Structure 1
Amino acid sequence: MSQKAAKLDNDLYEAELTRLQAELVEMQEWVKATGARVVVLFEGRDAAGKGGAIKRITEYLNPRLAEVVALPTPTERQKTQWYFQRFVEHLPAAGEIKLFDRSWYNRAGVERVMGYCTPEEYQRFLRQVPVFERMLVDDGIMLLKYWFSVSDKEQEKRFKSRMTDPMRRWKLSPTDLESLTRWEDYSRAKDDMFIHTDIEPMRWHVVEAEDKKKARINMITHLLESVPYTHVDRPVIEFPKRPKGTGYRRTDQRLMSRVPDYAAALNHAEVPPKYHDPEDNGLDDNGSDDSPEAEASP
């Protein structure tokens, strides 16, 4: 039986994350300057930590250049289109990074397992997706695919924490909870998907996600190493001198509808404690470290 891996020290995690986020800003500048196009796919089990990784990646990036794509359920009209059609319109133009929080691989996972597509549609997807992705790469798009892997025990623990966490309750859906009872079905679907789509140069990169903080550090580091960015010198900005005033007077503040100063009434005794994400802490209900081993991790 393997030993439980030590959790990443929080101070070390925060310091390294900050360093990596600064590098992400450098990468973004290179993408903008060179007109590169980058697509990053985030796939994996529900509650595997995809959203948290995306949040840390985009925290300091320009949202006009680095956009998160999280598409809703297709409309009735979209269901009659070519399957990849609604994803194509979200692909990047020059100088853009698109981060897909789930992607066209929905068809190989939840749609297949839950019966949302027909067997014929699924088989057609498996035939077409390598061709589709090859077209993207041949056209110059940098395509990176990440699979966040988490064990059944860890997934169940995270689901339970969300049921009682008002900040994350919205993340639970009936489909999410049903995935607990279909663990092996999803595992087989993932294995079949890898057989058909884990091919050069569009390989899947598996992120071990039992420890969310380690997963973020590892994934972001790999992303940075996969994009051949270099430092881009930015133009020197000279702060302009404010011109001499011409007699302008501000509008009488009594004529404006101003937001009340709620902050002035705050005091330490009434401020609730800072929110801590229980999934990041890896703690059980008693506050002790109870992270499971990554057994049966797909």
Structure 2
Amino acid sequence: MRRTILITGGAGFLGSHLCDRLIADGHDVICVDNYFTGRKQNIEHLIGHPRFELLRHDVTFPLYIEVDEIYNLACPASPIHYQHDPVQTTKTSVHGAINMLGLAKRLKCRIFQASTSEVYGDPSIHPQTEDYWGNVNPIGPRSCYDEGKRCAETLFFDYWRQHRLEIKVARIFNTYGPRMLPNDGRVVSNFVVQALKGEPITIYGDGNQTRSFCYVDDLIEGFVRLMGSPRELTGPVNLGNPGEFTIKELAELAIEMTGSKSTLTFLPLPQDDPKQRQPNISLAKEQLGWQPNVPLRDGLRHTIEYFDRLLSEGAAA
């Protein structure tokens, strides 16, 4: 059934891919972004499409609009960006959630929250399951994002309990692919851009900390399945790739796949940086029939091609 769907943060990395997917599925999409980290280039191919509408708006202010579903993706998601203005980051997570939940309550529509594996903090259990409460520093430099997202989850579940609002909460693990910002400080974009430029690849810590990398197309499929799941499945649901790699392994793979002569440089580990991060996706497999299908090498190839094109155009210099 054709729906009108609001995507906040729709010009961002994940949001723009979700716009593409929902347009392809035949829906009308209203993309909202304030361009703090989103970019018009990510959705410029959709401008002029009869089922696509673009609004410049900051979700910390109320939005009055008529839609059938809401995906709330608005929030800077990389440490460089969310630590640039930590107060605004917390406001985006908390005030943004309040405003979008209020809109969903008025419209009596289903709403999706893009939460994060950062709610688990520096986890003391491995891999992480949805019933784990996390190990989070509430007053550190990453807290604006970690605690902001935790508070947003609290709000979603209180609206579900108090107002019977239909909610869907996804906890997103490391995701990569085309349209990542070249300067966002995330490990995949950092390593690929440095390798393409032939610069030393910067590893924080000894490189033995682990991450799990999910290609963006796989993640968006998980979003759509969770949003379309029965009302009773509120989440939170882990969405990510359980394949675990050390940071050093990723750096070496980036060098190999780009044919780069880059060397490895080691710097101190930032405060509160998680040492392990791997999703347990049993719930997503069981309830959504979802699991990632794109191998790391295949996803990296697409990502490298994207950044190579950006560099050749001078956009990632």
Same fold (TM over 0.5): no
TM-score by length of 1: 0.35
Q: Greater RCO between the two (CA within 8 Å, min separation 6)?
A: 1
TM-score by length of 2: 0.33
Please identify which structure carries the higher helix content: 1
Rg (Cα) greater in structure:
1
